[in-house]
Amino acid sequence: MTLLVTGGTGFVMSVLAREWLDRDPKARTVILDRSGLDAMAQKYFAPVRDRLTVITADILDPSAWSAALDAEDITAIVHGATITPISRGSASEAKRQPEAEDPARIVDVNLMGTVRMLDWARNHSGVRRLVYVSSGAIYRHHGPDWSGEPLPEDGYVAPLTLYGISKFASEMVVNRYADLFGLSAASVRLASVYGPMDRATESRNFRHVPNRIAHFALAGEVIRPNSLEPVGDYIQSSDVARAIIALLDAPQLRYRHYNIGSGTTTTIGDIIGWARERVPGLTAEISAADKANIVQDPALKHGMWGAYDIARIERDTNWRPRPGKEAFHAYMDWIAEHEMS
């Protein structure tokens, strides 16, 4: 079994590639990415490097990678190559609008990169399934209609950013290719992901709240949120990897779109409390937004900012997310071992 992972040297996709190799000593992974393995990725993949092939090329240029992929016995594809131009988390970062820096590149990579991969996949009968990695950014800011319900996959779609727009457009293209060419394909919409291998890369430089709190706590820094009340559906990268693999393994997929999240919301105050269990002397001080090192809007509690309904993936697979505190503590342990040793 050989899995092709586009964008596989980055954050979530690198964890997926490693998870695929760890579970089966005979499995192989091929990574297609514009960036090669950085120092952290080289260390991360070292135990399985003999079963990993890295093709360094631009997803938009099939002439640079299609022949190399033709030589591999690819049986499944996870297309995660993307540009994630998000700016949020501190007062200074919130002032930036990274989408304005190169908007055409975002649309080209996120949409036309998907088309290029689909064109390759449809001509290779050995590919039995393709999973497209989408995002909760395709959802609107409000919903569902009934208070307290998690956000389902049907409806509530109204992307406002080029990132979300390009992701939703790609989902629709994946669906159409599936119908036209008989591909077994589905899209996964990720909630707020943090965890192992979360670092600044060429295509993504953003850290969700659990990442920031874990690093501040382990470094002995004072955590200064603007509020303890903001929420998020936070899911650890290892859980996301296992969820995607469960969809690759499923005998049949009954849906075209699947949410992947924890299925519940967690506040900044909750996460600080979890961190304090590992770092008892941790200090947290509510601060004005201009002095805070974690800035979130307390009003963002619904739609893409709230809990994601994960009933579909629970129906079609045996995957379940770990409890939030367990996953967060596992990430703190990973940081201590791999980033601070």
Helices (H), the chain: 12-23, 39-45, 66-70, 91-94, 103-107, 113-122, 162-181, 209-218, 237-249, 268-278, 311-316, 324-338
Predicted confidence (pLDDT) at residue 278 exceeds the cutoff of 90: yes
Range 233-237 average pLDDT: 98
Residue 339 to residues 43, 97, 136, 212, 334, Cα–Cα distance (Å): 11, 29, 28, 14, 8
Task: Answer yes or no: is pLDDT of 96 > 80.
Answer: no
Rg (CA), the chain: 19
Q: How many CA atoms lie within 13 A of 150 on its CB side?
A: 19
Residue 313's pLDDT band, with cuts at 50, 70 and 90, is very high
- 23, pLDDT greater than 90: yes
Higher pLDDT, 287 or 93: 287
Distance CA 53, CA 272 (A): 39
Other CB atoms closer than 10 Å to residue 315's CB: what's the count? 10
Helix (H, G, I), strand (E, B) or coil at 40: helix
Residue 170: what are its φ and ψ, rounded to 5°? Answer: -65, -40
d(CA 182, CA 299): 43
User: Does the structure show a pLDDT above 60 at 89?
Assistant: no
β-pair type (231-232, 52-56): unpaired
Q: Is pLDDT above 80 for 204? A: no
Domains plus CATH for the chain? Answer: 2-338 (3.40.50.720)
pLDDT of residue 93: 56
What's the angle, vertex CA 210, arms to CA 204 and CA 211, rounded to 5?
45
Model confidence band, residue 85 (pLDDT cutoffs 50, 70, 90): confident
Per-residue pLDDT, 201:
80
Token look-up 């952290």 returns 40
**What CA–CA distance (Å, rounded) separates 188 from 319?**
14
Q: How confident is residue 87, by pLDDT bands cut at 50, 70 and 90?
A: low
Q: What is the mean pLDDT of residues 249-263?
A: 97
pLDDT for position 100: 87
| pLDDT at 236 exceeding the cut of 80 | yes
Find the angle CA(175)-CA(127)-CA(20) to the nearest 5 degrees.
Answer: 100
Confidence of residue 92 (pLDDT cuts 50, 70, 90): low
| pLDDT bucket at 148, cuts 50 / 70 / 90 | confident
Angle at alpha carbon of residue 98, lines to 206 and 96, rounded to 5°: 85
Beta-carbon count within 10 A of 262 CB: 23
User: What tokens were used for 141?
Assistant: 């800011």
Mean pLDDT of 226-235: 97
Residue 281 phi/psi, 5-degree rounding, is -90, 10
Average of per-residue pLDDT across 22-35: 97
Share of the chain above pLDDT 70, in %: 96
- Give the range among 105-114, 158-167, 200-209, 295-304 with minimum mean pLDDT: 200-209
Q: Taking a C-beta distance cutoff of 8 angstroms, is the pair 115, 132 a contact?
A: no
CA distances to 148, 279, 296 from 300, in Å:
14, 29, 8
Return the closest-CA partner of residue 153 out of 191, 192, 111, 189.
189
- For 16-20, 134-138, 202-206, 226-230, which range has the lowest pLDDT when averaged over its residues? 202-206
pLDDT of residue 109: 96
Nearest to 258 by CA among 279, 276, 274, 235: 235
- The pLDDT, as a whole number, for residue 207 is 86
Q: What DSSP line would sit under 49-115, residue for residue?
A: GGGEEEEE--TT-GGGTHHHHHTS---EEEE----B----SSHHHHT--GGGTSHHHHHIIIIIHHH
Residue whose C-alpha is closest to residue 210's, from 198, 201, 226: 198
pLDDT in tens, 56-81: 999 999 999 999 999 999 999 999 99
Task: Give the pLDDT confidence score for residue 101 in this predicted structure.
Answer: 86
d(CA 104, CA 140): 23
Instruction: Say how far apart CA 44 and CA 49 lie, in whole Å.
Output: 9
Three-state DSSP class for residue 157: strand
Tokens 């967060």 map to which residue?
A: 328
